[in-house]
């Protein structure tokens, strides 16, 4: 790796700053309790699939992330150090070529002595030249005043993929996002998101930093449209933002197929190309005379997951009912179903998206974040907070606006950081308009100028106050690659983190809930043995106790449900009753192509198809008349149990005896090998169900039937093969499945 600079004693830092042609940057006299680690970034005016965007911000070409920034540290007295420069990384001159760098996403270790970050090295040396570059994870030591800086690339990470937003996990591993394909197959690269069909990351990954070049790499969740900015809270939960976009392909809906949308017949490199087909969920636009409304869903919500990848769900089970302003009912022919416009809920401050979560160290369980639009603001907007410690019901969570929701009042904010002394800082621009380039392609003048600032009280809302630096400016030039671009001005200051020691959070696990544990005991099946068998076969188990029960707020999908042919039912009020017989499962296959069959774009998009993984051998499906493909029967007590493939996005729906959809899931979930995931209800309850009852406590008979079959197979010497995706689970998980 080219490194034109070498580590220098701290006393030579001023000389080094002058070498880089930016002049000494004297920080503002804003006393802080601890040093602040942050990054500088040469501004990128465009806001689609670039370094500051809400999605596809992991890409590494120079047009998407200009080179010339640094990993910085600001000490409490205002002194600045350029850590990457001191360690010998980057181009010292104006022109940004083979040794040029960009940096992002610092995360400080629990001991406060080291930090992770991502860095991309390299840029085009000549006009029209193209080189491949990838974000990789590095660790820096020497953060203290006067300590020599050392930076090393973390072993065990995927070398030819973009690995960003690394964090230290409580279990000693490193969690990060990557665009490595779910199963490592290069023909699936890149994964395209469900909305714009733009390259996205594939989800959260985990590696062991002590495992050497192998890394013991594990996929924690497979996210069809991407996961962003993970963090660990004081309770041990990994929190992150996820793009939730489980709707039909808008590009396939375009008349005349201008985007060249088609399907592959499988995920393999040799699969054939066929016409585009899509079966789940309902169409985006309701056809004339249809009994269903069209479905559009598009938001970035806070999610949580355990360090081993189990227990994935929205933060405290929060959803559209708690946060959004409006969405339609699913069916048109049932007057009992309502449009949702916030009726009946506690929270009065809505939000659309929730980016860049950060826990307040002075108030554990309170999280700051940013509500920003999908485009045109570099993922900046207004700062808000929610209080959501574990166990706090989602229907009791309220949103508090910290800065004014109207950018005209104080500009745009991103990357909020609550400090140990109770103050807040954030990256801020006073610009109130959409992002744009007020210059030219070759001499850009970015409209946004993010600077780190302390937030100060100002009437009903806080607003940006004193900056943490006096500004860090630089002149850089590069090939884009068609034109030589010159930028001369202030650098963005982004991604601040406080450098201080913190207690290591607990490593979360979830015990098997009592009703399910009773079934295992009654059937003489050891849960650990059962789990190990599933892990070996690359499977997980999902269980629901009574799918006729739904959260009280959800009156947009049918809520008078009965297991067909039985007396098991739950009614929310008068009105139409729906008989349900099957849970139909869908797996996220990467089979959607784009760009036309003659010369398709590289990579695939995830598409929901009926579950067909041969390892997920669920009992007695062929004996069920009318069973839709990929389904399991609902037991007489309302319970369901199903084996599902791990390491692959999954979703589902309840159907009637003829296989027609009744209640649809609105999110993807991923299961880990060997995970036992229990959901008491269909749309898991926050406080009460549609009939005013708490969560069901019945011992699920569907689980009993599945365990009886499994035990018979074991006694008969069966059990199946492991498949190529087994491994990775270390604990069981409980928690509700999420439906809107």
- Position 737 scores a pLDDT of 36
- Position 128 scores a pLDDT of 93
Confidence of residue 718 (pLDDT cuts 50, 70, 90): low
Element at 250 (helix H, strand E): helix 250-253
CB 236 within 8 A of CB 365: no
Mean pLDDT value of segment 524-552: 97
Sign, CA dihedral 660-663-669-671, equals negative
- Position 221 scores a pLDDT of 97
Mean pLDDT value of segment 415-444: 97
Nearest to 157 by CA among 119, 101, 200, 108: 119
The pLDDT tens digits of the residues spanning 127-150 come to 999 999 999 999 999 999 999 999
CB atoms within 10 A of CB 483: 12
Contacts by 559-567 with C-beta closer than 8 Å and gap 24+? 559/336, 559/690, 560/336, 560/690, 561/654, 561/662, 561/663, 561/682, 563/634, 563/635, 563/636, 563/637, 563/638, 564/634, 564/656, 564/657, 565/657, 566/636
The pLDDT tens digits of the residues spanning 505-528 come to 999 988 899 999 999 999 999 999
Supply the pTM of this predicted model. Answer: 0.93
Tokens of 442: 């070759």
Give the β-pairing of 191-192 and 604-610: parallel
3-state secondary structure 691-723: CCCCCCCCCCHHHHHHHHHHHHHHHCCCCCCCC
Q: Please state, in angstroms and rounded to a whole number, the distance separating the CA atoms of residues 638 and 641.
A: 10
- Position 724 scores a pLDDT of 39
The residue that leads in pLDDT, 19 or 675, is: 675
Q: What is the CA radius of gyration of the chain?
A: 26
CB atoms within 10 A of CB 331: 21
Q: Please state, in angstroms and rounded to a whole number, the distance separating the CA atoms of residues 50 and 198.
A: 11
- Position 733 scores a pLDDT of 34
Mean pLDDT value of segment 102-118: 98
Q: How is the chain split into domains, by residue range?
A: 10-246+281-498, 514-715
The pLDDT tens digits of the residues spanning 203-228 come to 999 999 999 888 899 999 999 999 99
Nearest to 82 by CA among 363, 74, 583: 74
Confidence of residue 445 (pLDDT cuts 50, 70, 90): very high
CB 523 within 8 A of CB 707: yes
Using the 8-state DSSP alphabet, how is residue 443 labeled? S
pLDDT at 11 over 80: no
pLDDT at 357 over 80: yes
Mean pLDDT value of segment 679-698: 92
Average pLDDT taken over every residue of the chain: 91
In angstroms, the Cα distances linking 48 to 23, 158, 240, 251 are 32, 25, 21, 17
**Residue 329 exposure: Cα atoms within 13 Å on the Cβ side:** 15
pLDDT at 731 over 90: no
The pLDDT tens digits of the residues spanning 238-267 come to 999 999 999 999 999 888 899 999 999 999
3-state secondary structure 459-509: CCEEEEEEECCCCCEEEEEEECCCCEEEEEEECEEEEEEECCCCCCCCCCC
Q: Please state, in angstroms and rounded to a whole number, the distance separating the CA atoms of residues 246 and 295.
A: 9
DSSP string, 313-372: EEGGG--HHHH-S-B--SBSS-TTS--BSSTT-S--S--S--EEEEE-TTSTTEEEEEE-
Q: Who's near 408: CB < 8 A, 6+ residues apart?
A: 432
- Position 214 scores a pLDDT of 86
Using the 8-state DSSP alphabet, how is residue 434 labeled? -
Element at 13 (helix H, strand E): helix 13-19
The residues pairing with 192 across neighbouring beta strands, listed in sequence order, are 199, 605
Confidence of residue 727 (pLDDT cuts 50, 70, 90): very low
pLDDT at 22 over 50: no
Mean pLDDT value of segment 58-76: 97
Q: Which fold does the domain 10-246+281-498 belong to in CATH?
A: Neuraminidase (2.120.10)
């Amino acid at each position: 790796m080219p490194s034109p600079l070498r580590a220098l004693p701290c006393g030579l830092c001023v000389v080094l700053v002058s070498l880089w042609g930016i002049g000494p940057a004297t920080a503002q006299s804003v006393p802080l309790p601890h040093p602040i680690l942050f990054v500088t970034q040469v501004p990128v005016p465009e806001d689609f699939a670039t370094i500051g965007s809400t999605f596809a911000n992991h890409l590494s070409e120079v047009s998407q992330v200009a080179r010339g920034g640094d990993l910085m540290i600001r000490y409490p007295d205002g002194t600045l150090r350029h850590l990457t420069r001191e360690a010998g990384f980057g181009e010292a001159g104006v022109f940004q070529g083979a040794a040029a760098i960009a940096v992002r996403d610092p995360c400080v270790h629990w001991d406060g002595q080291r930090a992770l970050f991502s860095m991309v090295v390299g840029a085009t040396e000549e006009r029209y030249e193209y080189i491949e570059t990838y974000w990789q994870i590095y660790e820096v030591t020497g953060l203290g005043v006067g300590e020599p800086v050392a930076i090393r690339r973390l072993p065990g990470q995927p070398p030819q993929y973009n690995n960003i937003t690394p964090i230290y996990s409580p279990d000693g591993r490193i969690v990060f996002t990557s665009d490595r394909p779910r199963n490592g197959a290069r023909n699936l690269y890149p994964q395209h998101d469900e909305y714009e069909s733009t390259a996205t990351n594939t989800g959260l990954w985990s590696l062991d930093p002590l495992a050497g070049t192998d890394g013991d790499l594990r996929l924690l969740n497979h996210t069809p449209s991407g996961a962003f900015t993970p963090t660990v809270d004081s309770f041990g939960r990994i929190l992150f933002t996820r793009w939730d976009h489980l709707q039909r392909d808008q590009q396939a809906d375009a008349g005349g197929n201008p985007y060249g949308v088609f399907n592959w017949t499988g995920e393999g490199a040799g699969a054939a190309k066929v016409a585009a087909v899509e079966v789940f969920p309902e169409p985006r636009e309701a056809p004339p005379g249809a009994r269903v409304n069209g479905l559009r869903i598009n938001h970035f919500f806070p999610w949580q997951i355990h360090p081993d990848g189990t227990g994935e769900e929205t933060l405290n089970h929060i959803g559209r009912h708690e946060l959004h302003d409006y969405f339609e009912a699913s069916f048109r022919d049932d007057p009992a179903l309502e449009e949702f416009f916030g009726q009946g809920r506690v929270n009065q401050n809505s939000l659309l998206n929730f980016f860049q979560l950060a826990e307040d160290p002075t108030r554990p369980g309170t999280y700051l974040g940013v509500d920003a639009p999908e485009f045109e603001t570099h993922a900046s907007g207004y700062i808000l907070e929610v209080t959501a410690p574990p166990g706090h019901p989602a229907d009791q969570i309220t949103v508090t606006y910290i800065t004014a929701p109207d950018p005209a009042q104080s500009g745009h904010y991103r990357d909020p950081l609550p400090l140990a002394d109770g103050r807040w800082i954030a990256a801020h621009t006073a610009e109130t308009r959409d992002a744009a380039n007020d210059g030219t392609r070759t001499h850009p003048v970015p409209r946004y100028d993010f600077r780190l600032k302390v937030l100060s009280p100002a009437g009903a809302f806080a607003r940006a106050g004193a900056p943490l630096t006096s500004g860090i400016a630089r002149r850089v030039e590069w090939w884009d690659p068609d034109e030589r671009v010159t930028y001369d001005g202030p650098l963005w200051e982004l991604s601040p983190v406080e450098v201080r020691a913190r207690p290591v959070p607990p490593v979360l696990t979830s015990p098997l809930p009592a009703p399910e544990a009773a079934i295992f005991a009654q059937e003489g099946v050891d849960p650990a043995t059962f789990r190990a068998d599933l892990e070996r076969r690359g499977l997980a188990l999902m269980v629901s106790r009574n799918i006729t029960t739904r959260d009280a707020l959800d009156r947009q999908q049918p809520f008078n449900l009965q297991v067909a042919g039985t007396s098991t039912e739950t009614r929310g009020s008068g009105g139409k009753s729906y008989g349900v017989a099957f849970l139909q499962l869908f797996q996220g296959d990467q089979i959607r192509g784009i760009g036309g069959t003659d010369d398709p774009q590289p990579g695939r998009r995830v598409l929901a198809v009926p579950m067909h993984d041969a390892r997920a051998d669920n009992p007695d499906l062929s004996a069920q008349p009318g069973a839709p493909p990929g389904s399991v029967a609902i037991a007489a007590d309302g319970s369901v149990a199903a084996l599902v493939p791990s390491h692959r996005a999954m979703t589902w729906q309840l159907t009637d005896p003829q296989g027609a959809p009744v209640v649809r899931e609105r999110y993807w979930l991923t299961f880990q090998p060997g995970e036992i995931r229990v959901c008491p209800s269909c749309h898991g309850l926050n406080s009460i169900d549609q009939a005013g009852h708490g969560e069901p406590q019945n011992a699920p008979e569907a689980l009993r039937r599945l365990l009886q079959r499994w035990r018979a197979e074991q006694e008969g010497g069966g059990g199946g093969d492991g498949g190529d995706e087994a491994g990775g689970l270390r604990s069981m998980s409980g928690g509700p499945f999420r439906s809107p």
